[in-house]
Amino acid sequence: MIYPVNIKNYSDLLAVCNKIQTDPRAFAYLSPKFNVLHFYGEHVDYRAAAFLKQELLARGGDTVVTKHVIDGKTDFSDVLLMGTPSQLKSLIEKLKSMDCWGLKQLREEFSRAFANFFVTSWSVGEKLKLDNDTKLMAIINLTPDSFHEASRVKENDVLSTAEKFLEQGAEILDIGAESTRPGFEPVEAQEEIARLIPALKILRREFPKVVISVDTYKSETARAAVDEGADIINDISGFELDTKMLELISKIGVPYVLSHFQKEPCENILSSMLKYFDTKITTLCEVGFKRENLILDPGLGFGKTLEDNFTILKNLEALKIFGLPILVGHSRKRFTGKNLFATVALSGLLYGRANILRVHDVEENLKAIEMAKNLR
């Protein structure tokens, strides 16, 4: 698996060099090269690693490898490919002539990652057009126990709440009728449907052109929601909690938010998350789901440590290897201290990196991304 990483300064580059265990003396001549594209590769044959370094150096780029690649005292090395787009594209062409040492698989992975990195527009379903101009998805909680108490909406207030969010700049409404906060108590599908459908009917009638997402991991609820005009199914579990969801979404064909779902922290969050998405996307395509109707959500807070969440946010570009739009749900989560100011700060930093931000406070977050947009 090869993926882009976010290296913005010398400290970032030094951290990666230390992780790969490169020769410390190499940092002096690597440091002027940090302001280029960076792609990280795991567990590369040491001969392939040496070849990559040689070929990128010849093109004016470079490759960070472990210090024992040169003396052959290691069998494998992680690598950091550093180069301009033209240098990296030239490397891919060179790799087409080499199939030894695992270079064929590496070439295929790198070609995919490189090509998808530059995808900047998507048509998701019939209504949703996405590009690098980040859109806001407003959260409408129809639950009595959602973690952010102020976001709980009663059925009588659904219309006025939706109108307010749309006036403030939201372009997508996300309706949920079951809390999935840490330690949540599941509710039966029929109860969830009873909470959800009356509100969905109102919103669909009043806002026929607005994109409406339904936050559920239950196939029965998803079916009922789509029948009433829901445009997107937002499943926090990646069809892990209801295996019937996989069959359902492949049949109904509406866009699907595929979330990274794990119950406990893992050793390498980026590698684990990318492999998870790779497997899930393959599974979805095998049952006939249209790839272009997928949106990826890294699932911040779900089975992740504080460090995991920040690692994902800092390296969000790693998800670009799939060439699919990215949704981030960071709003008032525990790792932000459930704090509006921390949420807004992150929204500004995520502008142009995430395609959709799922938030509780539309007006404040819109101001943050507008300010970030003006500073680009």
Dump pLDDT digits (tens) for 275-291.
Answer: 999 999 999 999 999 99
pLDDT for 106: 96
- 216 phi and psi, to 5 degrees? -155, 150
Please indicate whether residue 104 is annotated as part of the active site: no
Taking each helix axis from N to C end, the angle separating 46-58 and 85-95, rounded to the nearest 10 degrees, works out to 130
pLDDT tier, 150 (very low <50, low <70, confident <90, very high otherwise)? low
Dump pLDDT digits (tens) for 238-267.
Answer: 999 999 999 999 999 999 999 999 988 898
pLDDT for 9: 74
295: nearest Cα among 182, 109, 127, 169 = 127
pLDDT tier, 155 (very low <50, low <70, confident <90, very high otherwise)? confident
According to DSSP, residue 326 is labeled: B
Dump pLDDT digits (tens) for 80-126.
Answer: 999 999 999 999 999 999 999 999 999 999 999 999 999 999 999 99
- Please tell me the distance from the alpha carbon of residue 365 to that of residue 358, in angstroms, as a whole number: 10
Please indicate whether residue 358 is annotated as part of the active site: yes
Dump pLDDT digits (tens) for 181-230.
Answer: 666 678 899 999 999 999 999 999 999 999 999 999 999 999 999 999 99
The active-site residue out of 358, 367, 373, 376 is 358
Kindly tell me if the per-residue pLDDT of 50 is higher than 90.
yes
Kindly tell me if the per-residue pLDDT of 146 is higher than 90.
no
373 or 185, which is more confident? 373
pLDDT for 344: 97
Q: Whole-prediction pTM value?
A: 0.90
Kindly tell me if the per-residue pLDDT of 342 is higher than 70.
yes
- Please tell me the distance from the alpha carbon of residue 80 to that of residue 69, in angstroms, as a whole number: 13
pLDDT for 53: 96
The active-site residue out of 135, 332, 333, 353 is 333
pLDDT for 179: 77
Identify the three-state secondary structure at position 8: coil
Mean of the per-residue pLDDT values of the chain: 92
Identify the three-state secondary structure at position 176: strand
Dump pLDDT digits (tens) for 296-313.
Answer: 999 999 899 999 999 999
DSSP β-bridge partners for residue 122: 130
Identify the three-state secondary structure at position 364: helix
What is the rounded average pLDDT of the residues 15-33?
83
